[in-house]
C-alpha cells in the first residue's frame, strides 16, 4: 500500500479492533489516512460498573474516545457523519453509497477498508458494507482496492483463509493504546489482554485479516 | 479510570429515589414532553450465544402528554404514564439523573449494562449533527 487510505466504519472502535495496526503502519510511511465514522456508537450498552454514564452522555464520551484513538493511530482526517447507532440499515442505501462515492472522488484513496458484506455480524456493519461495496461496484475498473473485514462465525468456512494478513506485531503496543482509548467499550478486553488469557485476543493484536470482494 | 470519564461526561448517576422521581412526574402532568424509550439486550447477544433470542427497541423524541405519571415497586422500579390514547410503561429501572427539566431513568444489570431507559425532557433530546459538533 503506497497511497492514501480511506477507512469507513459505523462505530467508534470498529477501526481499532480491525485495522489499527494497518492504519499505524500506513501513517508511519507518511501516507494520508481518512477515517469516516458514521455514528458515535451512542446506543452502546456498557455504562460502567459502577455506573459512570448515561445514554445521553455516552455519545460525548465516545466522541472524545474516538478523537483520542485517532491521535494514537496518527489519523489527522477524522470525519464524523452523525448518523445514529443502530439506524444505518434504515437509511437510503443508494444515497449512502452516493455519499461514499463523493468521498472516494474527493480523497482518491488507493485502498478502502470497511466491513465485508454478509460476514460483519452487526446490522450497522452490514449496511455500511453493502453501501461501500455498492459505491465501489459502480466505479468499475477505476475503483480503489478494497480490504473487507469479516468476523462472522461462518467466515472461514465460507470465504476461506483471509486474502490479506497484515503482521502488526511491531505495532501491537500502539494498537493496544488505540483500543484502550475506547475504554468505555474495551475495559473487559483489556483485562483479558493483561492476563494474556485469550488466544483470540492475542491474535487480534498481532495480525489483521482482510478479504477481497469479488466485484463483477 | 472512572474519574477520567466522569470529568468528560460530568454525569451524576444515582440509585433511584422514588420520591424524587414521583415529584418530577407530578410536576409534568399535562405538559408536552419529548421521550426516549428503550429496551436492549445488546447487539452482540446472539453472536455470543446463538441460542439467545435478541430483542430490543427504542423510540427517540416521541412527543407525549400524560394525565397520570407514577413510579412503583421496591427496586428495580416500574414507571407508567397514562397517555391521551394509551400508556407508556417501562420496568426494570434502577438509576436516575436529573438536570433541570430533563429526567433520565435507566435500568442496569449487575455488570452495568443498560437494559432499559426512559428519558423525559421538555425539549428534544440531542440527535445526529448536534451530537458530533463540539460539545
Ligand atoms: Zn461496530
Pairwise CB contact (< 8 Å): A51 & B104: no
Q: How many CB atoms lie within 10 A of CB A26?
A: 26
Backbone angles phi, psi at B7, to 5 degrees: -70, -25
Backbone angles phi, psi at B94, to 5 degrees: -125, -30
Average pLDDT over residues B6-22: 77
**Residue B4 pLDDT:** 36
**Residue B87 pLDDT:** 95
**Residue A185 pLDDT:** 87
**Residue A201 pLDDT:** 81
**Residue B129 pLDDT:** 74
**Residue B3 pLDDT:** 32
- In chain B, which among 54-93 make CB contacts under 8 A with chain A? 58, 60
Q: Which residues in chain B touch residue A63, judged by CB atoms under 8 angstroms apart?
A: 131-132, 135
Statement: residue B68 has pLDDT above 90: yes
**Residue A45 pLDDT:** 85
Average pLDDT over residues A148-166: 97
Interface test with B, best of A41, A46, A52 (most B CBs within 10 A): A52
Statement: residue B111 has pLDDT above 90: no
Statement: residue B45 has pLDDT above 50: yes
- In chain A, which among 31-50 make CB contacts under 8 A with chain B? 40, 42-43, 45-50
Contacts of A4 (CB under 8 A, 6+ apart): A31, A32, A33, A34, A107, A108, A109, A110
Look over chain A and give the mean of its residue pLDDT values, rounded to a whole number. Answer: 94
- The domain limits of chain A are 5-210
Confidence band, pLDDT 50/70/90 cuts, at residue A48: confident
Average pLDDT over residues A20-36: 98
Statement: residue B5 has pLDDT above 60: no
More confident call, A65 vs B130: A65
Q: Do residues A5 and A178 touch, judged by C-beta distance below 8 A?
A: no
Pairwise CB contact (< 8 Å): A52 & B119: no
**B96: helix, coil or strand?**
strand
Confidence band, pLDDT 50/70/90 cuts, at residue B6: very low
**A77: helix, coil or strand?**
strand
Q: How many CB atoms lie within 10 A of CB A211?
A: 19
Nearest of B97, B96, B72, B73 to residue B82 by alpha carbon: B72
C-alpha cell at B47: 453472536
Statement: residue B73 has pLDDT above 90: yes
- Which domains are present in chain B? 11-125 (2.70.180.10)
Q: Please give the ipTM for the structure prediction.
A: 0.77
Convert the pLDDT of each residue in A73-96 to its tens digit: 999 999 999 999 999 999 999 999
Q: Is the peptide bond before A50 cis (omega within 30 degrees of 0)?
A: yes
Cα separation, B10 vs A207, in Å, equals 37
Statement: residue A161 has pLDDT above 90: yes
**B84: helix, coil or strand?**
coil
CATH number of A5-210: 3.40.50.10320
Statement: residue A204 has pLDDT above 80: yes
Pick A121's closest partner by Cβ from B10, B47, B106.
B47
Predicted model pTM: 0.89
Statement: residue B26 has pLDDT above 70: yes
Convert the pLDDT of each residue in A126-154 to its tens digit: 999 999 999 999 999 999 999 999 999 99
Amino acid at each position: 500500500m503506497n497511497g492514501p487510505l480511506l477507512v469507513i466504519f459505523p462505530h467508534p472502535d470498529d477501526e481499532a479492533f480491525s485495522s489499527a495496526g494497518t492504519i499505524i503502519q500506513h501513517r508511519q510511511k507518511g501516507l494520508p489516512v481518512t477515517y469516516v465514522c458514521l455514528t458515535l456508537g451512542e446506543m452502546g450498552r456498557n455504562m460502567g460498573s459502577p455506573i459512570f454514564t448515561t445514554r445521553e452522555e455516552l455519545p460525548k464520551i465516545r466522541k472524545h474516545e474516538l478523537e483520542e484513538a485517532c491521535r494514537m493511530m496518527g489519523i489527522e482526517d477524522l470525519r464524523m457523519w452523525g448518523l445514529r447507532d443502530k439506524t444505518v440499515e434504515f437509511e437510503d442505501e443508494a444515497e449512502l453509497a452516493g455519499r461514499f462515492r463523493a468521498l472516494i472522488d474527493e480523497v482518491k484513496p488507493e485502498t478502502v477498508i470497511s466491513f465485508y458484506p454478509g460476514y460483519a455480524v452487526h446490522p450497522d456493519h452490514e449496511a455500511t458494507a453493502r453501501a461501500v461495496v455498492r459505491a465501489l461496484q459502480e466505479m468499475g475498473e477505476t475503483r480503489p482496492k478494497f480490504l473487507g473485514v469479516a468476523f462472522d462465525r461462518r467466515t472461514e468456512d465460507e470465504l476461506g483463509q483471509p486474502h490479506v494478513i497484515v503482521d502488526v506485531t511491531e505495532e501491537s503496543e500502539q494498537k493496544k493504546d488505540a483500543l484502550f482509548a475506547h475504554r468505555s467499550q474495551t475495559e473487559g478486553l483489556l483485562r483479558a489482554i493483561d492476563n494474556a488469557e485469550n488466544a483470540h485476543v492475542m491474535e487480534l493484536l498481532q495480525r489483521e485479516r482482510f478479504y477481497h470482494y469479488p466485484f463483477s | 479510570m472512572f474519574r477520567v470519564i466522569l470529568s468528560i461526561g460530568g454525569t451524576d448517576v444515582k440509585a433511584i429515589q422514588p420520591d424524587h422521581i414521583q415529584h418530577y412526574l407530578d410536576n409534568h402532568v399535562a405538559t408536552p414532553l419529548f421521550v426516549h424509550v428503550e429496551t436492549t439486550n445488546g447487539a452482540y447477544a446472539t453472536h455470543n450465544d446463538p441460542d439467545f433470542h435478541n430483542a430490543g427497541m427504542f423510540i427517540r423524541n416521541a412527543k407525549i402528554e400524560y394525565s397520570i405519571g407514577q413510579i412503583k415497586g421496591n427496586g428495580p422500579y416500574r414507571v407508567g404514564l397514562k397517555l391521551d390514547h394509551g400508556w407508556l410503561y417501562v420496568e426494570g429501572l434502577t438509576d436516575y439523573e436529573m438536570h433541570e427539566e430533563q429526567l433520565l431513568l435507566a435500568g442496569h444489570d449487575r455488570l452495568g449494562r443498560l437494559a432499559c431507559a426512559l428519558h423525559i425532557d421538555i425539549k428534544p433530546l440531542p440527535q445526529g449533527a448536534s451530537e458530533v459538533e463540539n460539545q
